[in-house]
Structure 1
Amino acid sequence: MSNGSYTLVYNMLSLGIASMLFTSIFLFVARERVAPRYRMAVMVSGTVTAIAAYHYFRMFDDFKHAFGTDGMGVVAYNVGYRYVDWFLTVPLLLVETVAVLALAATVQRSLLNKLVPAAAAMIALGYPGDAQLNLLYQGDAPLWGLLSTIPFLYILYVLFVELGKGLAGQSEAVQRKIKELRLLLLATWGVYPISFIFNMNATGFDEGGFVLRETGYTIADILAKCLFGLVIFTIARIKSAEDDAEFAKTEFKK
Protein backbone atom coordinates (compact mmCIF):
# COMPACT_ATOMS: atom_id res chain seq x y z
CA MET A 1 0.00 0.00 0.00
CA SER A 2 1.29 3.46 -0.88
CA ASN A 3 2.24 5.84 1.91
CA GLY A 4 -0.60 8.23 1.04
CA SER A 5 -3.24 5.49 1.15
CA TYR A 6 -1.85 4.07 4.37
CA THR A 7 -1.85 7.50 6.04
CA LEU A 8 -5.41 8.24 4.95
CA VAL A 9 -6.87 5.00 6.29
CA TYR A 10 -4.71 5.24 9.45
CA ASN A 11 -6.02 8.74 10.18
CA MET A 12 -9.63 7.84 9.39
CA LEU A 13 -9.55 4.89 11.81
CA SER A 14 -7.96 7.15 14.43
CA LEU A 15 -10.75 9.68 13.87
CA GLY A 16 -13.27 6.87 14.32
CA ILE A 17 -11.75 5.88 17.67
CA ALA A 18 -11.76 9.46 18.99
CA SER A 19 -15.30 10.17 17.79
CA MET A 20 -16.81 7.01 19.24
CA LEU A 21 -14.91 7.15 22.53
CA PHE A 22 -15.64 10.75 23.43
CA THR A 23 -19.25 10.62 22.27
CA SER A 24 -19.69 7.66 24.65
CA ILE A 25 -18.14 9.58 27.52
CA PHE A 26 -20.37 12.59 26.87
CA LEU A 27 -23.58 10.54 26.64
CA PHE A 28 -22.89 8.59 29.83
CA VAL A 29 -21.94 11.74 31.76
CA ALA A 30 -24.88 13.76 30.40
CA ARG A 31 -27.56 11.11 30.94
CA GLU A 32 -28.71 12.89 34.13
CA ARG A 33 -29.65 15.92 32.01
CA VAL A 34 -32.79 14.13 30.75
CA ALA A 35 -35.84 12.84 32.60
CA PRO A 36 -35.59 9.25 33.95
CA ARG A 37 -38.00 7.76 31.39
CA TYR A 38 -35.71 8.88 28.53
CA ARG A 39 -32.38 7.91 30.04
CA MET A 40 -32.54 4.40 28.62
CA ALA A 41 -32.45 5.78 25.07
CA VAL A 42 -29.42 7.93 25.94
CA MET A 43 -27.67 4.97 27.60
CA VAL A 44 -28.30 2.80 24.55
CA SER A 45 -26.80 5.56 22.40
CA GLY A 46 -23.72 5.60 24.62
CA THR A 47 -23.50 1.82 24.47
CA VAL A 48 -23.60 1.93 20.66
CA THR A 49 -20.65 4.30 20.45
CA ALA A 50 -18.76 2.41 23.18
CA ILE A 51 -19.10 -0.87 21.26
CA ALA A 52 -17.97 0.93 18.12
CA ALA A 53 -14.98 2.47 19.92
CA TYR A 54 -13.81 -0.99 20.99
CA HIS A 55 -14.08 -2.36 17.46
CA TYR A 56 -12.31 0.67 16.00
CA PHE A 57 -9.40 -0.06 18.34
CA ARG A 58 -9.37 -3.62 16.99
CA MET A 59 -9.58 -2.45 13.36
CA PHE A 60 -6.81 0.08 13.96
CA ASP A 61 -4.47 -2.58 15.36
CA ASP A 62 -5.41 -5.03 12.61
CA PHE A 63 -4.76 -2.43 9.93
CA LYS A 64 -1.31 -1.64 11.34
CA HIS A 65 -0.53 -5.35 11.52
CA ALA A 66 -1.62 -5.96 7.94
CA PHE A 67 -0.03 -2.93 6.27
CA GLY A 68 2.25 -1.17 8.72
CA THR A 69 5.30 -3.49 8.73
CA ASP A 70 6.38 -3.77 5.12
CA GLY A 71 3.59 -1.98 3.26
CA MET A 72 2.83 -5.08 1.20
CA GLY A 73 -0.40 -6.10 2.87
CA VAL A 74 0.70 -9.72 3.17
CA VAL A 75 -1.54 -10.27 6.19
CA ALA A 76 -5.25 -10.23 5.44
CA TYR A 77 -7.19 -7.31 6.88
CA ASN A 78 -10.16 -8.60 8.86
CA VAL A 79 -13.33 -6.79 7.73
CA GLY A 80 -15.20 -9.03 10.17
CA TYR A 81 -14.52 -6.55 12.99
CA ARG A 82 -16.81 -4.04 11.28
CA TYR A 83 -19.56 -6.59 10.80
CA VAL A 84 -19.45 -7.79 14.41
CA ASP A 85 -19.71 -4.13 15.41
CA TRP A 86 -22.66 -3.52 13.07
CA PHE A 87 -24.38 -6.75 14.10
CA LEU A 88 -24.49 -5.36 17.65
CA THR A 89 -24.91 -1.64 17.06
CA VAL A 90 -27.34 -1.39 14.14
CA PRO A 91 -30.20 -3.10 16.04
CA LEU A 92 -29.39 -0.90 19.05
CA LEU A 93 -29.60 2.23 16.89
CA LEU A 94 -33.15 1.24 16.04
CA VAL A 95 -33.91 0.41 19.68
CA GLU A 96 -32.86 3.89 20.82
CA THR A 97 -34.93 5.51 18.06
CA VAL A 98 -38.08 3.78 19.31
CA ALA A 99 -37.21 4.09 23.01
CA VAL A 100 -36.77 7.87 22.98
CA LEU A 101 -40.35 8.38 21.78
CA ALA A 102 -41.78 6.68 24.89
CA LEU A 103 -44.54 5.06 22.84
CA ALA A 104 -47.06 2.63 24.30
CA ALA A 105 -45.44 -0.70 25.22
CA THR A 106 -47.41 -2.65 22.62
CA VAL A 107 -46.42 -0.23 19.86
CA GLN A 108 -42.76 -0.33 20.88
CA ARG A 109 -42.79 -4.11 20.98
CA SER A 110 -44.40 -4.34 17.55
CA LEU A 111 -41.86 -1.98 15.97
CA LEU A 112 -38.84 -3.62 17.57
CA ASN A 113 -40.01 -7.12 16.63
CA LYS A 114 -39.84 -5.97 13.03
CA LEU A 115 -36.77 -3.73 13.10
CA VAL A 116 -34.28 -5.74 15.17
CA PRO A 117 -34.46 -9.06 13.22
CA ALA A 118 -34.37 -7.16 9.92
CA ALA A 119 -31.26 -5.25 11.03
CA ALA A 120 -29.50 -8.46 12.09
CA ALA A 121 -30.40 -10.12 8.77
CA MET A 122 -29.12 -7.11 6.80
CA ILE A 123 -25.70 -7.28 8.45
CA ALA A 124 -25.42 -11.08 8.38
CA LEU A 125 -26.23 -11.21 4.67
CA GLY A 126 -23.81 -8.42 3.78
CA TYR A 127 -20.74 -9.93 5.44
CA PRO A 128 -20.02 -12.87 3.08
CA GLY A 129 -20.00 -10.51 0.10
CA ASP A 130 -17.86 -7.81 1.69
CA ALA A 131 -15.37 -10.35 3.02
CA GLN A 132 -15.41 -12.09 -0.39
CA LEU A 133 -15.89 -15.50 1.20
CA ASN A 134 -17.36 -16.93 -2.04
CA LEU A 135 -19.65 -19.22 -0.06
CA LEU A 136 -21.95 -20.01 -2.99
CA TYR A 137 -19.69 -19.52 -6.00
CA GLN A 138 -16.66 -17.50 -7.08
CA GLY A 139 -17.53 -13.80 -7.21
CA ASP A 140 -20.86 -14.09 -5.41
CA ALA A 141 -20.50 -10.67 -3.69
CA PRO A 142 -23.25 -9.00 -5.81
CA LEU A 143 -25.73 -11.69 -4.74
CA TRP A 144 -25.00 -11.13 -1.05
CA GLY A 145 -25.26 -7.39 -1.57
CA LEU A 146 -28.68 -7.85 -3.18
CA LEU A 147 -29.89 -10.14 -0.40
CA SER A 148 -28.73 -7.64 2.21
CA THR A 149 -30.69 -4.89 0.47
CA ILE A 150 -34.02 -6.66 1.05
CA PRO A 151 -34.09 -6.24 4.87
CA PHE A 152 -32.61 -2.76 4.41
CA LEU A 153 -35.63 -1.70 2.33
CA TYR A 154 -37.97 -3.30 4.87
CA ILE A 155 -36.34 -1.29 7.69
CA LEU A 156 -36.88 1.89 5.71
CA TYR A 157 -40.53 0.97 5.22
CA VAL A 158 -41.02 0.46 8.97
CA LEU A 159 -39.21 3.68 9.87
CA PHE A 160 -40.91 5.89 7.32
CA VAL A 161 -44.38 4.34 7.26
CA GLU A 162 -45.14 2.42 10.44
CA LEU A 163 -43.09 4.57 12.81
CA GLY A 164 -44.59 7.62 11.12
CA LYS A 165 -48.01 6.57 12.40
CA GLY A 166 -46.71 6.80 15.97
CA LEU A 167 -45.55 10.39 15.53
CA ALA A 168 -49.05 11.85 15.51
CA GLY A 169 -49.03 12.30 19.29
CA GLN A 170 -45.57 13.88 19.36
CA SER A 171 -44.88 17.60 19.46
CA GLU A 172 -43.84 19.47 16.35
CA ALA A 173 -40.28 19.81 17.64
CA VAL A 174 -39.98 16.05 18.26
CA GLN A 175 -41.55 15.20 14.91
CA ARG A 176 -39.03 17.43 13.18
CA LYS A 177 -36.10 15.76 14.96
CA ILE A 178 -37.38 12.26 14.18
CA LYS A 179 -37.68 13.21 10.52
CA GLU A 180 -34.08 14.42 10.67
CA LEU A 181 -33.05 11.11 12.26
CA ARG A 182 -34.72 9.09 9.52
CA LEU A 183 -33.08 11.18 6.82
CA LEU A 184 -29.73 10.84 8.59
CA LEU A 185 -30.12 7.06 8.61
CA LEU A 186 -31.11 7.03 4.96
CA ALA A 187 -28.16 9.21 3.96
CA THR A 188 -25.54 7.41 6.05
CA TRP A 189 -26.76 3.88 5.44
CA GLY A 190 -26.75 4.70 1.74
CA VAL A 191 -22.98 5.14 1.96
CA TYR A 192 -22.47 1.52 3.05
CA PRO A 193 -23.66 -0.18 -0.17
CA ILE A 194 -21.69 2.35 -2.23
CA SER A 195 -18.53 1.58 -0.25
CA PHE A 196 -19.37 -2.13 -0.53
CA ILE A 197 -19.47 -1.82 -4.31
CA PHE A 198 -16.05 -0.13 -4.39
CA ASN A 199 -14.43 -3.38 -3.28
CA MET A 200 -16.97 -5.86 -4.66
CA ASN A 201 -15.33 -6.69 -7.98
CA ALA A 202 -11.75 -6.67 -6.79
CA THR A 203 -9.68 -9.73 -7.54
CA GLY A 204 -7.08 -10.07 -4.82
CA PHE A 205 -6.16 -6.79 -3.08
CA ASP A 206 -7.34 -3.58 -4.75
CA GLU A 207 -5.76 -0.62 -2.98
CA GLY A 208 -8.12 2.02 -4.34
CA GLY A 209 -11.23 0.00 -3.55
CA PHE A 210 -9.95 -0.80 -0.06
CA VAL A 211 -9.18 2.85 0.76
CA LEU A 212 -12.54 4.08 -0.54
CA ARG A 213 -14.39 1.37 1.37
CA GLU A 214 -12.66 2.00 4.69
CA THR A 215 -12.93 5.77 4.35
CA GLY A 216 -16.61 5.58 3.39
CA TYR A 217 -17.46 3.14 6.16
CA THR A 218 -15.72 5.27 8.79
CA ILE A 219 -17.38 8.54 7.79
CA ALA A 220 -20.79 6.83 7.67
CA ASP A 221 -20.17 5.22 11.07
CA ILE A 222 -19.33 8.54 12.71
CA LEU A 223 -22.48 10.16 11.35
CA ALA A 224 -24.75 7.16 11.94
CA LYS A 225 -23.56 6.54 15.51
CA CYS A 226 -22.09 9.72 17.02
CA LEU A 227 -24.26 12.34 15.35
CA PHE A 228 -27.28 10.04 15.60
CA GLY A 229 -26.69 9.56 19.33
CA LEU A 230 -26.41 13.30 19.90
CA VAL A 231 -29.72 13.87 18.09
CA ILE A 232 -31.30 11.17 20.29
CA PHE A 233 -29.97 13.07 23.32
CA THR A 234 -31.50 16.28 21.96
CA ILE A 235 -34.88 14.59 21.49
CA ALA A 236 -34.71 13.23 25.04
CA ARG A 237 -34.04 16.76 26.31
CA ILE A 238 -36.96 18.18 24.34
CA LYS A 239 -39.38 15.52 25.57
CA SER A 240 -38.14 15.89 29.16
CA ALA A 241 -38.91 19.60 29.01
CA GLU A 242 -42.33 18.93 27.50
CA ASP A 243 -43.19 16.46 30.26
CA ASP A 244 -41.90 18.47 33.22
CA ALA A 245 -42.24 22.25 33.47
CA GLU A 246 -39.81 22.34 36.39
CA PHE A 247 -37.21 20.46 34.34
CA ALA A 248 -37.71 22.91 31.47
CA LYS A 249 -37.33 25.85 33.82
CA THR A 250 -34.12 24.46 35.29
CA GLU A 251 -32.45 23.11 32.16
CA PHE A 252 -33.50 25.77 29.67
CA LYS A 253 -33.46 28.89 31.80
CA LYS A 254 -32.31 32.01 30.03
Structure 2
Amino acid sequence: MATPTPGLESLSLWIGTIGMTLGTLYFIAQGWSVRDPEQQEYYIITIFIPAIAAASYFSMAIGFGLIEVPVQGLGTLEIYWARYADWLFTTPLLLLDLALLAGADRNTIATLIGLDVFMIVTGLVGALAREGQTVRIAWWAISTGAMIVMLYYLLGTLSEQASKMSGDRAALFSRLRNLVLVLWSFYPIVWILGTESGFAIIPLPVETAAFAVLDLAAKVGFGIVLLRSRSVFSGTGASTAQSAD
Protein backbone atom coordinates (compact mmCIF):
# COMPACT_ATOMS: atom_id res chain seq x y z
CA MET A 1 0.00 0.00 0.00
CA ALA A 2 1.47 3.32 -1.15
CA THR A 3 0.53 6.86 -0.24
CA PRO A 4 -0.57 9.20 -3.07
CA THR A 5 1.51 12.32 -3.57
CA PRO A 6 -0.14 15.37 -1.94
CA GLY A 7 -1.37 18.16 -4.20
CA LEU A 8 -3.15 17.87 -7.53
CA GLU A 9 -2.92 14.09 -7.58
CA SER A 10 -4.56 13.60 -4.19
CA LEU A 11 -7.09 16.39 -4.85
CA SER A 12 -8.12 14.76 -8.14
CA LEU A 13 -8.69 11.42 -6.43
CA TRP A 14 -10.83 12.95 -3.69
CA ILE A 15 -12.81 14.98 -6.22
CA GLY A 16 -13.35 11.76 -8.13
CA THR A 17 -14.53 10.03 -4.95
CA ILE A 18 -16.93 12.82 -4.03
CA GLY A 19 -18.17 13.31 -7.58
CA MET A 20 -18.91 9.62 -8.09
CA THR A 21 -20.60 9.41 -4.68
CA LEU A 22 -22.82 12.41 -5.41
CA GLY A 23 -23.65 10.95 -8.81
CA THR A 24 -24.67 7.67 -7.19
CA LEU A 25 -26.87 9.40 -4.63
CA TYR A 26 -28.45 11.59 -7.30
CA PHE A 27 -29.33 8.60 -9.48
CA ILE A 28 -30.76 6.74 -6.46
CA ALA A 29 -32.90 9.74 -5.53
CA GLN A 30 -34.16 10.17 -9.09
CA GLY A 31 -35.01 6.52 -9.47
CA TRP A 32 -36.50 5.94 -6.03
CA SER A 33 -40.12 6.36 -7.15
CA VAL A 34 -39.74 4.77 -10.60
CA ARG A 35 -42.11 1.85 -11.09
CA ASP A 36 -41.80 1.12 -14.80
CA PRO A 37 -39.79 -2.16 -15.08
CA GLU A 38 -37.78 -1.04 -18.11
CA GLN A 39 -36.91 2.28 -16.52
CA GLN A 40 -35.87 0.48 -13.34
CA GLU A 41 -33.47 -1.68 -15.35
CA TYR A 42 -31.64 1.39 -16.64
CA TYR A 43 -31.55 2.97 -13.18
CA ILE A 44 -30.11 -0.17 -11.57
CA ILE A 45 -27.34 -0.43 -14.17
CA THR A 46 -26.57 3.28 -14.15
CA ILE A 47 -26.50 3.56 -10.33
CA PHE A 48 -23.88 0.81 -10.07
CA ILE A 49 -21.54 2.60 -12.51
CA PRO A 50 -20.63 5.61 -10.29
CA ALA A 51 -21.03 3.50 -7.13
CA ILE A 52 -18.25 1.14 -8.25
CA ALA A 53 -16.17 4.09 -9.42
CA ALA A 54 -16.62 5.85 -6.05
CA ALA A 55 -15.23 2.81 -4.24
CA SER A 56 -12.32 2.67 -6.69
CA TYR A 57 -11.48 6.34 -6.28
CA PHE A 58 -11.68 6.09 -2.51
CA SER A 59 -9.24 3.17 -2.55
CA MET A 60 -6.84 5.20 -4.69
CA ALA A 61 -7.25 8.32 -2.54
CA ILE A 62 -6.21 6.43 0.61
CA GLY A 63 -3.34 4.68 -1.17
CA PHE A 64 -4.80 1.16 -1.20
CA GLY A 65 -5.40 1.16 -4.96
CA LEU A 66 -1.83 2.21 -5.72
CA ILE A 67 1.19 -0.07 -6.16
CA GLU A 68 4.80 0.43 -7.18
CA VAL A 69 6.01 -1.60 -10.16
CA PRO A 70 9.75 -1.91 -10.93
CA VAL A 71 10.18 -1.70 -14.71
CA GLN A 72 13.37 -2.54 -16.54
CA GLY A 73 15.01 0.63 -17.82
CA LEU A 74 12.37 2.91 -16.28
CA GLY A 75 12.88 2.47 -12.57
CA THR A 76 9.85 2.17 -10.28
CA LEU A 77 6.49 3.36 -11.59
CA GLU A 78 3.41 4.13 -9.51
CA ILE A 79 0.41 2.29 -10.96
CA TYR A 80 -3.19 2.78 -9.90
CA TRP A 81 -4.41 -0.80 -10.31
CA ALA A 82 -7.82 0.12 -8.82
CA ARG A 83 -8.51 2.25 -11.89
CA TYR A 84 -8.44 -0.87 -14.06
CA ALA A 85 -10.63 -2.76 -11.58
CA ASP A 86 -13.12 0.10 -11.88
CA TRP A 87 -13.08 0.04 -15.69
CA LEU A 88 -13.40 -3.75 -15.78
CA PHE A 89 -16.83 -3.49 -14.15
CA THR A 90 -18.13 -0.06 -15.15
CA THR A 91 -17.36 0.04 -18.87
CA PRO A 92 -19.34 -3.15 -19.61
CA LEU A 93 -22.26 -1.63 -17.68
CA LEU A 94 -22.04 1.53 -19.80
CA LEU A 95 -22.07 -0.56 -22.95
CA LEU A 96 -25.00 -2.57 -21.60
CA ASP A 97 -26.98 0.65 -21.15
CA LEU A 98 -26.25 1.56 -24.77
CA ALA A 99 -27.04 -1.93 -26.04
CA LEU A 100 -30.39 -2.04 -24.24
CA LEU A 101 -31.26 1.41 -25.56
CA ALA A 102 -30.48 0.20 -29.10
CA GLY A 103 -32.53 -2.97 -28.67
CA ALA A 104 -29.42 -5.06 -29.40
CA ASP A 105 -29.51 -8.85 -29.57
CA ARG A 106 -27.48 -11.04 -27.22
CA ASN A 107 -24.74 -11.73 -29.76
CA THR A 108 -24.13 -8.01 -30.23
CA ILE A 109 -24.04 -7.42 -26.48
CA ALA A 110 -21.65 -10.35 -25.94
CA THR A 111 -19.33 -9.09 -28.68
CA LEU A 112 -19.19 -5.56 -27.30
CA ILE A 113 -18.60 -6.63 -23.72
CA GLY A 114 -16.06 -9.27 -24.78
CA LEU A 115 -14.04 -6.69 -26.71
CA ASP A 116 -14.30 -4.27 -23.80
CA VAL A 117 -13.07 -6.78 -21.20
CA PHE A 118 -10.21 -7.79 -23.51
CA MET A 119 -9.29 -4.10 -23.87
CA ILE A 120 -9.21 -3.49 -20.11
CA VAL A 121 -7.34 -6.69 -19.23
CA THR A 122 -4.63 -6.13 -21.84
CA GLY A 123 -4.33 -2.52 -20.67
CA LEU A 124 -3.81 -3.76 -17.11
CA VAL A 125 -1.17 -6.25 -18.27
CA GLY A 126 0.62 -3.38 -19.99
CA ALA A 127 0.47 -1.27 -16.84
CA LEU A 128 1.94 -4.09 -14.73
CA ALA A 129 4.54 -5.30 -17.26
CA ARG A 130 8.09 -5.21 -15.88
CA GLU A 131 10.02 -6.18 -19.01
CA GLY A 132 10.59 -2.62 -20.23
CA GLN A 133 8.98 0.21 -22.15
CA THR A 134 8.74 -1.65 -25.47
CA VAL A 135 6.69 -4.45 -23.95
CA ARG A 136 4.42 -1.97 -22.16
CA ILE A 137 3.77 -0.07 -25.38
CA ALA A 138 3.08 -3.35 -27.21
CA TRP A 139 0.36 -4.18 -24.70
CA TRP A 140 -1.00 -0.63 -25.02
CA ALA A 141 -1.19 -1.13 -28.81
CA ILE A 142 -3.08 -4.41 -28.36
CA SER A 143 -5.51 -2.79 -25.92
CA THR A 144 -5.99 0.25 -28.15
CA GLY A 145 -6.58 -2.01 -31.16
CA ALA A 146 -9.35 -3.78 -29.25
CA MET A 147 -10.86 -0.40 -28.37
CA ILE A 148 -10.84 0.71 -32.01
CA VAL A 149 -12.61 -2.50 -33.07
CA MET A 150 -15.13 -2.08 -30.26
CA LEU A 151 -15.86 1.56 -31.14
CA TYR A 152 -16.18 0.62 -34.81
CA TYR A 153 -18.66 -2.09 -33.83
CA LEU A 154 -20.49 0.45 -31.69
CA LEU A 155 -20.62 2.91 -34.57
CA GLY A 156 -21.65 0.26 -37.08
CA THR A 157 -23.63 -2.76 -35.90
CA LEU A 158 -25.10 -1.26 -32.73
CA SER A 159 -25.99 2.02 -34.45
CA GLU A 160 -27.71 0.08 -37.22
CA GLN A 161 -29.85 -1.72 -34.67
CA ALA A 162 -30.61 1.55 -32.86
CA SER A 163 -31.82 3.12 -36.12
CA LYS A 164 -34.80 0.72 -36.03
CA MET A 165 -36.04 2.22 -32.76
CA SER A 166 -38.35 5.22 -32.37
CA GLY A 167 -37.01 8.61 -33.45
CA ASP A 168 -36.41 10.01 -29.95
CA ARG A 169 -34.88 6.78 -28.72
CA ALA A 170 -32.53 6.59 -31.70
CA ALA A 171 -31.57 10.24 -31.16
CA LEU A 172 -30.81 9.61 -27.47
CA PHE A 173 -28.69 6.61 -28.43
CA SER A 174 -26.76 8.75 -30.93
CA ARG A 175 -26.01 11.40 -28.29
CA LEU A 176 -24.77 8.84 -25.80
CA ARG A 177 -22.83 6.90 -28.43
CA ASN A 178 -21.05 10.06 -29.55
CA LEU A 179 -20.26 10.92 -25.93
CA VAL A 180 -18.67 7.49 -25.48
CA LEU A 181 -16.77 7.70 -28.78
CA VAL A 182 -15.25 11.07 -27.91
CA LEU A 183 -14.45 10.48 -24.24
CA TRP A 184 -13.17 6.91 -24.56
CA SER A 185 -10.84 7.96 -27.39
CA PHE A 186 -8.92 10.17 -24.95
CA TYR A 187 -8.05 7.34 -22.53
CA PRO A 188 -5.30 5.69 -24.61
CA ILE A 189 -3.92 9.12 -25.46
CA VAL A 190 -3.56 10.05 -21.79
CA TRP A 191 -2.04 6.62 -21.09
CA ILE A 192 0.63 6.80 -23.79
CA LEU A 193 1.56 10.39 -22.90
CA GLY A 194 1.55 9.69 -19.17
CA THR A 195 3.81 7.89 -16.75
CA GLU A 196 2.51 4.35 -17.32
CA SER A 197 3.97 4.22 -20.82
CA GLY A 198 7.32 5.43 -19.56
CA PHE A 199 7.30 8.58 -21.70
CA ALA A 200 5.98 10.73 -18.82
CA ILE A 201 5.25 13.65 -21.14
CA ILE A 202 2.32 14.21 -18.79
CA PRO A 203 3.40 13.99 -15.11
CA LEU A 204 1.48 11.67 -12.78
CA PRO A 205 -0.58 14.41 -11.03
CA VAL A 206 -1.82 15.78 -14.38
CA GLU A 207 -2.41 12.26 -15.68
CA THR A 208 -4.46 11.45 -12.58
CA ALA A 209 -6.49 14.64 -12.95
CA ALA A 210 -7.13 13.92 -16.64
CA PHE A 211 -8.40 10.41 -15.91
CA ALA A 212 -10.63 11.79 -13.12
CA VAL A 213 -12.23 14.34 -15.47
CA LEU A 214 -12.75 11.70 -18.16
CA ASP A 215 -14.22 9.24 -15.65
CA LEU A 216 -16.66 11.76 -14.20
CA ALA A 217 -17.84 12.80 -17.66
CA ALA A 218 -18.02 9.23 -18.97
CA LYS A 219 -19.92 7.88 -15.94
CA VAL A 220 -21.88 10.61 -14.15
CA GLY A 221 -22.29 12.74 -17.28
CA PHE A 222 -23.42 9.71 -19.28
CA GLY A 223 -25.94 8.79 -16.59
CA ILE A 224 -27.41 12.27 -16.39
CA VAL A 225 -27.95 12.44 -20.15
CA LEU A 226 -29.51 8.97 -20.18
CA LEU A 227 -31.80 9.19 -17.16
CA ARG A 228 -33.09 12.72 -17.69
CA SER A 229 -34.78 11.34 -20.83
CA ARG A 230 -36.17 8.25 -19.16
CA SER A 231 -39.57 8.32 -20.90
CA VAL A 232 -37.77 7.62 -24.19
CA PHE A 233 -36.95 4.09 -23.03
CA SER A 234 -40.05 3.50 -20.88
CA GLY A 235 -42.27 0.50 -21.40
CA THR A 236 -45.03 2.82 -22.61
CA GLY A 237 -43.15 3.42 -25.84
CA ALA A 238 -43.48 7.18 -25.47
CA SER A 239 -41.48 9.08 -28.04
CA THR A 240 -41.21 12.40 -26.24
CA ALA A 241 -38.46 12.76 -23.66
CA GLN A 242 -39.35 14.28 -20.32
CA SER A 243 -37.24 15.42 -17.44
CA ALA A 244 -36.78 13.09 -14.50
CA ASP A 245 -36.77 16.04 -12.14
TM-score normalised to the size of structure 1?
0.79
**Residues 199, 210 of structure 1: 8 Å contact kept:** yes
Describe how 1:135-214 pairs up with structure 2 within 5 A: 137-139=131-133, 140-197=135-192, 198-202=194-198, 208-214=202-208
> CA 1:225–1:240 in structure 2 vs 1: closer, same or farther (change >3 Å)?
same
For the pair 1:117 / 2:114, whether they are aligned, the reply is yes
Rounded Cα–Cα distance in structure 1 between residues aligned with 2:231 and 2:60: 34
- How far apart are residue 238 of structure 1 and its match? 2.5
Aligned residue in 2 for 1:6 = 6
1:130 aligns with 2:131: no
Tell me: CA distance 1:89–1:217, structure 2 relative to 1, closer, same or farther (3 Å). same
2:88 alignment partner in structure 1:
87
Tell me how far 1:146 sits from its aligned partner: 0.4
Matched length: 228
Pick one of 205, 226, 229 that aligns with 2:220.
226
Closer, same or farther: CA 34–168 of 1 in aligned 2, 3 Å: farther
Provide the rounded CA distance (Å) in 1 between the counterparts of 2:197 and 2:41: 42
Q: Is the 8 A contact 1:62 1:78 kept in 2?
A: no
The equivalent of 1:15 in structure 2 is: 15
Q: Within 2, Cα distance between the matches of 1:182 and 1:62? A: 34
What one-letter code is carried by the residue in structure 2 that aligns with 1:214? T
Which structure's CA Rg is the greater one?
1
Secondary structure of 1:170's match?
A: coil
Partner AA of 1:124 in structure 2: V
Instruction: Check conservation: 1:181, 1:228, Cα contact below 8 A.
Output: yes
Structure 2 residue identity aligned to 1:188: L
Contact 1:24 1:47 in 2 (8 A): yes
Residue 169 of structure 1 and its aligned partner are, at CA, apart by 2.9
Q: Distance in 1 between matches of 2:221 and 2:197?
A: 31
Q: What TM-score does the superposition give when structure 2 sets the normalisation length?
A: 0.82
Shift of residue 201 of structure 1?
A: 4.5
Q: Deviations over 1:7-54 (max 9, x none)?
A: 212221111111111111121222234732121122111101100000
List alignment gaps of at least 5 residues for structure 1: 67-74
Higher helix share: 1
> Offset of 1:167 from its aligned partner?
1.9
Structure 2: how far apart are the matches of 1:240 and 1:201? 44
1:140-189 CA deviation, whole Å, 9 max, x = no partner? 11101100012211211221111111123323222222111111111111
Q: Structure 1 residue 233: deviation in Å?
A: 1.0
Q: Which moved more, 1:176-185 or 1:76-85?
A: 76-85
Unaligned runs of 5+ in 2: 68-75
Q: Which runs of 4+ in 1 moved over 3 A?
A: 63-66, 75-78
The residue correspondences of 1:3-82 to structure 2 (distance < 5 A) are 6-31=6-31, 32-33=33-34, 35-62=36-63, 77-82=78-83
Cα distance in 2, alignment partners of residues 64 and 238 from structure 1? 38
Question: What is residue 71 of structure 1 aligned with on the other side?
Answer: none
The structure-2 alpha-carbon separation of the partners of 1:238 and 1:34, relative to structure 1 and needing over 3 Å to count, comes to farther
Alpha carbons 1:62, 1:77 under 8 Å: kept? no
Q: CA RMSD in A?
A: 2.8
Q: State the 1:128 CA deviation.
A: 2.4
Structure with more strand by fraction:
2
Structure 1 CA distance for aligned equivalents of residues 65 and 187 of structure 2 = 23
Identity of aligned residues (%): 23
Q: Comparing 15-24 with 117-126, which one deviates more in the overlay?
A: 15-24
